[in-house]
Structure 1
């Protein structure tokens, strides 16, 4: 039996029918370092698709259609349009999430790469009669 894991949600915003969610306007920070913001934005866009929904979410700032997917990195999950808020509206996400992203990106840049396993592969061919 596989132990259940919890994914931590980030990036759902309050609106007329969801007043108990955070207000994205309270997260606006135009002074956030541009390179760090861009790294987090790219990370959000590159997440694995977790779920797809039938309806389209709309941006709480500009009302632009903003996706119908949820994405994940295996620890966190977020709506597909979250990257739009960073790119277009200067939204800064909580530091715990930013630290998570930067630590993973940094680790991937310096991790040792093993190539011999792949070089040793010969492929999978159907058995011959």
Structure 2
């Protein structure tokens, strides 16, 4: 059995049908954010796995675009799938804690050694 744990939520915003205690995305806009770092964070956002699916769509608080109905996760944080849109299209800079986490994940994946022996050792009779 997989043990349940608490995921850290990020990227939910105040809006017409939202909880007013959420922050406003306008407060996070930062045109000076380094584009290379931003792109790495966006890569991490886009490679999250689907944690939950909802009916209907969330709309972007800036432009009104339909922004998805999924919740994505990396096993530590959880976010709406439209969060990458806010970062790319509207210059929303995510908190340093999430940025550092994203960069660490990408660095870990890029620098990890690859174990090829298990896959090479699979025979047709072992595939199921």
Matched pairs, number: 126
In the alignment, the residues of structure 1 paired with residue 126 and residue 33 of structure 2 have an alpha-carbon distance, to the nearest angstrom, of 53
Deviation at 1:2, TM superposition (A): 4.4
Partner of 1:82: 83
CA distances 1:3-43 after superposition (whole Å, capped 9, x unpaired): 32111100000013321101100000010000111111121
In the alignment, the residues of structure 2 paired with residue 46 and residue 119 of structure 1 have an alpha-carbon distance, to the nearest angstrom, of 26
Deviation at 1:46, TM superposition (A): 1.3
Aligned to 2:50, what secondary structure does the other structure show? strand
Partner of 1:5: 5
In the alignment, the residues of structure 1 paired with residue 86 and residue 35 of structure 2 have an alpha-carbon distance, to the nearest angstrom, of 14
In the alignment, the residues of structure 2 paired with residue 107 and residue 125 of structure 1 have an alpha-carbon distance, to the nearest angstrom, of 30
- In structure 1, the gaps of 5 or more residues are none
Between structure 1 and structure 2, the one with the greater Rg is: 1
Task: State the TM-score, normalizing by the size of structure 2.
Answer: 0.93
Q: RMSD over aligned Cα, in angstroms?
A: 1.5
